[in-house]
Amino acid sequence: MKVSIMRPIFRPEDVSNPSFVLYPYHIFHLKLFYKRLGRSDRVLDYFAYVDLYRLGAERGDGFIDLYEWDVEERSVMEPLVDYEEARMKAFESAITWGNSRVVSWWLPRIEVVRDERAYKVFWIYEKDGEKLIMDSLDGKEFSLETIVGKDGRKCKGAWCR
């Protein structure tokens, strides 16, 4: 299956062939159009990265580079949030951010400039006998055991592979 992935910045060192799991996001580039009394209107760009597993939104500086990978379906985590929920979360996040920068009597008109489903790569590998997971965008490592437990009972979805 072909998927868009966020360009990995970090990769485990001294590991010949790490496996990975792909974590779902929806990325939005939004334009906010604010009307203002007695002043010129304001237009702001906003980039929202909506987590499709936990329904959280983060503001980005731009639209991250995306690459297309051909992967096995079992490496891809299924989103728990549909497009409409993700879009509404992006709008809510954009309005909160925009209203802290612009004084207006009205809510902004919002236009979706671009949006794409993309996946963040989490590397899974073994180092010094311990299974680890690395976030490909910030390089942080986590013990797989702390996420899934010693016996794997907490394990859900693609993290278990």
> pLDDT digits over 85-106, tens only?
999 999 999 999 999 999 999 9
Q: Answer yes or no: is 103 within a domain.
A: yes
- Domain span holding position 18: 2-123
Domain count, the chain: 1
14 occurs within a structural domain = yes
d(C-alpha 96, C-alpha 150), whole Å: 41
pLDDT of res. 81: 97
pLDDT for residue 161: 44
Sort strands 109-127 and 130-135 into parallel, antiparallel or unpaired.
antiparallel
pTM of the model: 0.87
Q: What is the Cα Rg of the chain in Å?
A: 19
Neighbours of 47 (CB within 10 A): 19
Task: Report if residue 138 sits inside a domain.
Answer: no
Is the residue at 132 inside a domain? Answer: no
Q: Does pLDDT of 82 surpass 50? A: yes
* Domain annotation covers residue 143: no
> Is 109 domain-assigned?
yes
The answer as to whether 59 is a domain residue is yes
**Quick check: is 105 in a domain?**
yes
The pLDDT of residue 150 is 67
* Dihedral sign, Cα of residue 131, residue 125, residue 13, residue 76: negative
